[in-house]
Each structure stands twice: as C-alpha cells, then as structure tokens.
Amino acid sequence: MKAALLKAYGGVDQFEISEIPVPKPGPGEVLIKIEVSAVNPFDLILRQGFMAQYIPLPLPAVLGGDAAGTIAELGAGVTSLSLGDRVVADFPANGRGAHAEFGVIPATSVAKLPAALTFEQGATLVKAGLTARQTVDALGVKPGDCVLISGALGSVGRAAIQYLHEIGAKPVAGVRPERLDEARTLAGEALDITVTPAASSFDYAISAAAPVAAPLIGHVRDGGKIASIVPVPEGSNAAGRVTIQELFHRTDTATLDAVLDAAVKGLLVIPVAHTFALEEIRAAQNAVALGARGKVVLRH
C-alpha cells in the first residue's frame, strides 16, 4: 500500500511516499481502507520531534490521527462492525497513523459514519469534536453559564461553541480584532482577546490558541476555571489566581457518535480550507503551518 512515511524528525522534506505492506488486524482490531485523513497541528509537532521525549515514534513513521473510510477486514472478536461499514477513526500517535491507504486500529476507536456525511466531513470531526466536548465537560458547565473560548474559529473552538449552544450555555468567542465579525456570526457574541479587560468577568474559559493563552487568563475571575488544550506560559497565572486544567483528548465512541449526530443535524460544521492528495503531504503540512482557516485534509 501507499503511505506517507516520515523518515526522520525535521522538516517536511523528511516525508516520502513509499510502498509498505498492508497491515493485518489483530484481535479486537479492524483494517480500514482510508479515503480521507486530516492533517492537524499536532502532526507538525510530532514531525519536528518536539514530543519525542514523551511519544517516541518508531521511524520511519506514518502520522495522521483523523480518518474516514470503510472497514476492509475484521480482527478476531470484533462484532460491533461489519465489512464495508463507512466509519471514522481516532488513530493514536504511535507511528502507525492514518496517512496511508490502509490502517489498523482498535474497534473501540471507530464510529460508524452516518450516510448523510461525506468521508471528507467525517475526517474533520474526530479529534476536534472529541476534544471540544471533553473540554466543556471538564469545566462542569451548566445551562446558562457564560464561557469564553480562545481559538474560537479553529476546529476545536467551533466544535466547543456548537456544544455549548447544545447544552444551553452561552459561548463568547475570543478572537483577534480583525475576526470579530466572523466570530459573532458563529458564536453570537465575541470580544477582542488581545485587549486586557478592566475587570475579569468570566467564570469559565477554554484555551485553544497558544499565542493568546496568557491574555486569556486576564479575562477570568479569581477562582475561575480554564480548560486548556495548549501549553500555558509559565508565570502567567500569578499566585494560582485561576484553576487551569490541561487536557488531552481521549477516544470515546459514544462521544464521537454524539459529534457525528450534531453534524448530521447541521449543528456542527468544520470548514475545509484545503484538500490535497496523499502524495502532497508536504504541501498539506505547510498549509497547516501557515495557519489555514479550516481543516486541511488528504484524499487517498
């Protein structure tokens, strides 16, 4: 099968398109014929080796965490899925990812893709949808609560805004001034996240944009809570004024089913900024690095 192999940590020149054997699913696993995969910012961090101390990749490695395709083979004991099922999958960062024609993954990391959604739509929803819902849930948000979201126009931010609307909370998009109108259209209310407020006014916030992780803290009241999916700069939370919980998404099929259902109902749309062929993995990663306004996906 064809795969985008990362030969060594470094720049995009370390990718090459190669032929490697089709993997075989073991007990509890499935083989997916991948139609579309997404390129996420985390893939760039892995490629550059910034996580090598914590997530050492078996080089050459296949990156890619979000995929959509069809079930091509079932491992022993898998009864929840059938051959030919349209699915989405949440691949782990283990060097055997989704940027290939086929991929093996535990059946517990797979959800059925509704007929109303395309493979491209499915591939945009996996990690963004899971992360957004788990982040909101970690804050303990209740109906009527007001929540500030930085990175509101990114994939996780958009999914968080949708979920907050769904549970009856009030999202406020924290964005740069040039994107305020766009953010208001999405969330209903927006503010300039780069301006330090005269008084902190939020009990809850979601930090999904690293460049404004520090300014975000100034908008949260003493004793408030921030759920962050990006690093928080050291010293930015003076004397532990607010509670900050750093989160990493976890695979959860039930939550992913809820994300897909929201997309079917038209409540959740994550725009696709660029579509590349698998062979264009270098250009796709560069597009993410340049700050694509929407998902970057690969067609296989």
Please give the domain boundaries of the chain with CATH numbers for all domains: 2-113+270-299 (3.90.180.10), 127-246 (3.40.50.720)
In angstroms, rounded to a whole number, what is the distance separating the alpha carbons of residues 246 and 95? 24
**Among 92, 229, 86, which residue's Cα sits nearest to residue 155?**
229
The number of residues making up the chain comes to 300
Which position has the higher pLDDT, 213 or 81?
81
Q: 98 phi and psi, to 5 degrees?
A: -95, -5
At 169, the pLDDT band (50, 70, 90 cuts) reads very high
In one-letter notation, the amino acid at residue 152 is: A
- Of the listed ranges 22-31, 196-205, 239-248, the least confidently predicted one is 196-205
In angstroms, rounded to a whole number, what is the distance separating the alpha carbons of residues 284 and 292? 10
Beta-bridged to residue 66, according to DSSP, are: 38, 90
**For the residues 189-200, what does the mean pLDDT come to?**
85
In angstroms, rounded to a whole number, what is the distance separating the alpha carbons of residues 270 and 263? 9
**For the residues 272-277, what does the mean pLDDT come to?**
97
In angstroms, rounded to a whole number, what is the distance separating the alpha carbons of residues 70 and 237? 46
Does 199 score more than 80 pLDDT? no
289 three-class SS? helix
**For the residues 7-13, what does the mean pLDDT come to?**
97
At 195, the pLDDT band (50, 70, 90 cuts) reads confident
| Cβ neighbours of 246 (radius 10 Å) | 12
At which residue do the structure tokens 């051959």 appear? 83
Contact 97, 41 (CB under 8 A): no
Does 5 score more than 80 pLDDT? yes
Determine if the pTM surpasses 0.85: yes
**Among 107, 96, 163, which residue's Cα sits nearest to residue 130?**
163
Reported as a single tens digit per residue, the pLDDT across 29-71 is 999 999 999 999 999 999 999 989 999 999 999 999 999 999 9
Reported as a single tens digit per residue, the pLDDT across 94-134 is 999 999 999 999 999 999 999 999 999 999 999 999 999 99
Does 198 score more than 80 pLDDT? no
CA 149 from chain centre, in angstroms, equals 15
Give 79's Cβ-side CA count (13 Å radius).
Answer: 1
Tokens of 102: 């086929």
At 197, the pLDDT band (50, 70, 90 cuts) reads confident
169 three-class SS? coil
At residue 238, the pLDDT reads 82
**Rama region for 105: left / alpha / beta (φ>0; ψ in -120 to 50; rest):** beta
48 three-class SS? helix
Contact 190, 152 (CB under 8 A): yes
In angstroms, rounded to a whole number, what is the distance separating the alpha carbons of residues 209 and 211? 6
At residue 233, the pLDDT reads 86
At residue 73, the pLDDT reads 98
